[in-house]
Structure 1
Amino acid sequence: MPVLVMKFGGTSVATLDRIRRAAKRVGVEVAKGYDVIVIVSAMSGETNKLVGYVEETSPLFDAREYDAVVSSGENVTAGLMALTLQEMDVPARSWQGWQVPVKTTNAHANARIEEIPTDNITAKFDEGMKVAVVAGFQGISEEGRITTLGRGGSDTTAVAFAAAFGAERCDIYTDVDGVYTTDPRICEKARKLDRIAFEEMLELASLGAKVLQTRSVELAMRYKVKLRVLSSFEEQSDEAGTLVCDEEDIMESNVVAGVAHSRDEAKMTLVSVADRPGIASAIFTPLADAGVNVDMIVQNISDEGRTDMTFSCPTNQVARAEQAMEAAKEAGDINFHSIIADESVCKVSVVGIGMRSQSGVAAKMFRVLANEGINIKVITTSEIKISVLVERKYMELAVQALHDAFDLDKVA
């Protein structure tokens, strides 16, 4: 039988009624002739509650025990979903990560999937099971300990299963009905996209769009897994939601596919750093070792052998970055005058594969922001994206202005 992977996020399984609604969707696909692998998240709010218990019990917690606690929410959902399907006379059973087994690295709280053997679940399909309900977000390390995949890890679980089982498609059910040109809560003209290229979705996810976890899109692109993002609260058709697919599967698209934003950004500047070979490595290696997620990097023109180095990172990592830099300074690895942290900025980005073949996108973006009186603090570009740091108070204005300027409310 062809295999279909269906993933239900926390809001889609937040109550027993919603679990029943999700189970009915699964039953529809079973009736079409699919063997279905259902990946479930913990019920909405459950993981945050469990994280809170851990942090209250042990502020400097053992990451292995953290994983043991926070992974338990998915186990509950998986069991309830399997029971609900059984009540509907659909042959189903639940699987925890270690039972599959989902083999991962030993990096607790942020493990990566290394292998998903298909033998156990395939054998059960052959015996007549129609639905395997798998607890998302979790796996098992080489040491035999429970691991978790980080926030949004159930998306990654779903794509990894689709790749391992050669699934026809991976449907991600969430509380939105697809991928939009920008956040519809900020811009009422935001339009749902019927299709979006893997590369565009990867950039949007990494730049602040919350629809899919970045790692799940990376996996889908690598293994050519067709992803469909759709709502678990609306009636569905075969064309519902947004299909994330290869660029070749999209007939025509706008030059810019979407505008993304990230509110909680900080701009950090090391003032008066020695301008010498290896200085970038001396700065960014300790930042990486400290787990600081550096994004935009700008080095000023050198003056008398000294320069300023500016980079951006999430606001909740500022203290960690400052600590890493001071430690490197004390160790004699780098020398700087001071660290300046600006936590009042945000990142706004435009993304589109059409930017490869059309010039003038950057000029247009900068002109639009200038016309709105928005000063750009940092710029970074890639082949299909342009990102800027601006003052946070201008974030919504910037998003709306760029969305209008690139006519994203209109179909190409």
Structure 2
Amino acid sequence: MPTLVMKFGGTSVADLSRIKNAANKVKAEVARGYDVIVIVSAMSGKTNELVGWVEQTSPLFDAREYDAIVSSGENVTAGLMALTLQEMDVPARSWQGWQVPINTTSAHSAARFLDIPRTNIEAKFAEGFKVAVVAGFQGVSPEGRITTLGRGGSDTTAVAFAAAFGAERCDIYTDVDGIYTTDPRITSKARKLDRIAFEEMLELASLGAKVLQTRSVELAMRYKVKLRVLSSFEDTDETSGTLVCDEDDIMESKVVSGVAYSRDEAKVTLVTVEDRPGIAASIFGPLADAGVNVDMIVQNISERDYEDYPGSVTDMTFSCPVNQVARAKQAMEDAKAKGLINYEEMVVDDDVAKVSVVGIGMRSHAGVAAKMFKALSADNVNIKVIATSEIKISVLIDRKYMELAVQALHDAFDLEKA
């Protein structure tokens, strides 16, 4: 029988009535002739509750015990989903990560997949079971300990199973009915996309769109797994939601497919850094070691008077999440103390936002940047930093103008039109 992977997030299984609603959707797919692998998250709010208990019990917790505790939320959901399906006369069995087994690395709270053997689940399908309900977000290390994949790991689990079992498709059920051109809460003109390319979705996910976890899109792109994002709370059919697929499966793309934003960004500038070979490595090596997620990087001529600084100097600017500024400051101060770098001062602007336009059509169309900058200029939005890739243009702006910028760019590129 063909295999289908269905993933239900925390809001989709938040209580027993919602689990029953999700089970009805699974039953409908079984009736269509599929063997179904269901990946479930913990019930909404449960993981946060478990994390809170761990932190109250042991602020400097053992990561192995942390994973054992926080993974238990998915185990509960998997069991309840299997019982609900059995009550509907659908042969189902629940699986925890170690029972499959989902083999991962030993990096607790940030484990990576090694392999997912098909033998055990396929044996159950051969016995007549139609549904395998698998606890998402978790696996087992080579040492036999429970591991977790990091927040959003159930999306990644679903894609990994779809790749391992050669599934026809991986359906991600969530609280939205698809992927939109931008956040509908910001502009009512936001339009649901029928299809979007892996590359575009990866950029949107990494730039702040929270519909899909970034690692899940990376995995889907690598193994050509077709993803469909659709609502748990609406009646759906094979045309519902948004299909995330290979670029070749899209007849023709618009130049820009979507506008993404990230509200909580910070801009950090190291003033009068010595301009010499290796200076960038001396800056960004310590930042990486400190776990600072650097995004945009700009190196430019220093505004300081050259006469005050013998030799060549430059200013180095980078952006990072605002909650990582303290770590970035400490890393730079430590690097300066060790003599790795020297700078006059560190200037932090923690009141900025990142706004980006994304589209595979940019590869073959000129003038996207000019159109973007003109639209922002028309609304008196000043650009602080610019970064580009083949299918993306991002800018840092004052946070108070973020929503205005998103609306202006959505209008400028006519994204409300199909």
Give the TM-score of the pair, scaled to structure 2: 0.97
Q: SS at 2:386's partner residue? A: strand
CA offsets, 1:72-97, max 9 Å, x none?
Answer: 11011001000101111111111111
Q: Report the Cα distance in structure 2 between the residues aligned to 1:387 and 1:49, rounded to whole angstroms.
A: 36
Q: How does 1:127-146 map to 2 (within 5 A)?
A: 127-146=127-146
Deviations 1:193-235 (A, max 9, x none): 0000000000000000000001100000100000000000000
- The alignment's TM-score, normalised by the length of structure 1, stands at 0.98
C-alpha separation in 2, matches of 1:316 and 1:107: 23
2:320 is the alignment partner of 1:313:
yes
Residues 1:216 and 2:216 are matched in the alignment: yes
Indicate yes or no: 2:350 matched with 1:343: yes
CA distance in 2, matches of 1:397, 1:275: 38
Cα RMSD of the aligned pairs, angstroms, is: 1.0
Q: CA deviation at 1:57?
A: 2.1
Distance 2:120 2:406 in 1: 48
Tell me the secondary structure at the aligned position of residue 341 of structure 2: coil
Q: What is residue 85 of structure 1 aligned with on the other side?
A: 85
Q: CA deviation digits over 1:15-68, x for unaligned, max 9?
A: 100000000100001111111000000001111111111222222222222211
Letter of the 1:314 partner, please give it.
P
Post-superposition shift, 1:135? 0.4
Q: Any gaps of 5 or more consecutive residues in structure 1?
A: none
1:395 and 2:395 are equivalent in the alignment: no
Structural mapping, 1:260-409, within 5 Å: 260-301=260-301, 304-409=311-416
Question: Counterpart of 2:54?
Answer: 54
1:169 and 2:169 equivalent? yes
Q: 1:147 is aligned with what amino acid?
A: T
> Following the alignment from structure 1 to structure 2, what is the Cα–Cα distance between the partners of residues 63 and 318?
25
| Paired position in structure 2 for 1:410 | 417
1:206 partner letter: S
Superposition misfits of 4+ residues, deviation over 4 angstroms = none
Matched with 1:106 is 106
SS in 2 for 1:375: coil
1:154 equivalent in structure 2: 154
Percent identical among aligned pairs is 80
3-state SS in 1 of match to 2:301: coil
How far 1:404 sits from its partner (Å)? 0.4
Matched, 1:226 2:233: no
Matched residue, 2:68: 68
Whole-angstrom CA distance in 1 between matches of 2:365 and 2:229? 28
Alpha-carbon distance, 1:322 to partner: 1.2
CA distance in 1, matches of 2:235, 2:279: 56
